[in-house]
Amino acid sequence: MSTREGKAWPATGQFWWHGDEPDDPAAYPLHAVVFDLDALSELDLDGHRVVYNAAFASLGLDLQWSVGRYQRLMALPDERQRVAAELRKRCVGTECDVLVKLLVDEICAAKDMMFEEMILDAGLTPRPGLVDLVMDAFVAHIPVSVVTTGRRSWAEPLVRQLVGEGLVESVVTADDVSGPNLFAHALAELGVAPHDALAVAGSPAALRSANAAGVATVLIDADAGRGRAAAAVRAGYNGTGDALRLANCRRLHARWWDQHSPSAA
C-alpha cells in the first residue's frame, strides 16, 4: 500500500476519493463544540410563541398562535414580519397598513418586556439526546460554548436550566457581539481555530452564521431540506443506531474537513 498526501492507496484499486471515506477523526481532531441556543431546545415554539400569546392577551387582542400557525409563520425570518403578516391577514380597509404599523410596534414592545420574566418559567426542556452529547464532551475535556442573539440576563440562566451547571465553558450573547460574529467570538474565547470546532445550529440563520465563521456545522431542524451547507442535517440528536454523540460528531467533523480542506480541492 502506497500513500499520497498522507492518504492510503489500497491495493484493491478503490481509491479514497471514490467514496465518502476517509473520515478518520484523528486526521482532523475536534477540540470544541459550539451550540446555537435554538439547538438546545424548541425556543421558538415553546418560548417565543408562548410569550407572544401572552403579549396579545395583555393588549386585549383576540389572537393566539397555535403551534401549526407559528410553524408556518417561521418561514418569515424576522419576528416583526411574522406579527405584521398575522395582522394583515386579519385587517381590512384602507386604514390597514397604518393600523398594522402601530400594532406591530406595540405588540413587539410588550413581548420584549415580558420575555425575560416569562422565559425561565416557560417549561422549556432540552431536546432529547442533547444532554448526552454535552456530557460526552465534558468527559472528553472538549469545551462547549453556546451562542445566542438574546441577552445574557436570561440566556445564561436558561442554558444552565437546560444542560446543567458547569458543563458549558462560555455563553456568547448579543451583549458581547453582534449576531453575524457570535460563532467567531465564541471560538476566540475558547482559543480554538475554526477548523478545530464543530457548530450545532438550530436554524438556517444560525447555520449561515456558523458557515461565515468557517466552522463545520450540524443543523438540527426537523423541517430543513437536504442540500444545505451543513456537515449533516438532522431532525434531532437521537436516532436509531445514529444518535448524535461525540464519536459521531468527530466523524462528521473529519469528513467535512476531508472534503473541504485545500488539499481536497
Tens of pLDDT, residues 48-68: 999 999 999 999 999 999 999
75 neighbors 86 (Cβ within 8 angstroms): no
* Amino acid identity, position 85: A
- If asked whether residues 201 and 255 sit together in one domain, one would say yes
Work out the mean pLDDT of the chain and round it to a whole number: 86
Q: Is 90 exposed, middle or buried (0-12, 13-18, 19+ CB in 10 A)?
A: exposed
- Its domain, for residue 110, covers 45-121
Cell of 166: 458547569
Which H or E run includes 146?
A: strand 144-147
pLDDT tens figures, 216-225? 999 998 665 5
On the question of pLDDT at 5 being above 50, the answer is no
| Residue 200 falls inside a structural domain | yes
3-state secondary structure of 135: helix
Cell of 65: 398562535
Q: What percent of the chain has pLDDT over 90?
A: 71
- If asked whether residues 244 and 185 sit together in one domain, one would say yes
CA Rg, the chain, in Å?
21
- If asked whether residues 98 and 170 sit together in one domain, one would say no
Query: Residue holding cell 488539499?
Result: 263
Q: What is the pLDDT of residue 8?
A: 37
Selected residue with higher pLDDT from 16 and 58? 58
Q: Which pTM does this prediction carry?
A: 0.84
256 neighbors 231 (Cβ within 8 angstroms): yes
What's the domain count of the chain? 2
- If asked whether residues 74 and 180 sit together in one domain, one would say no
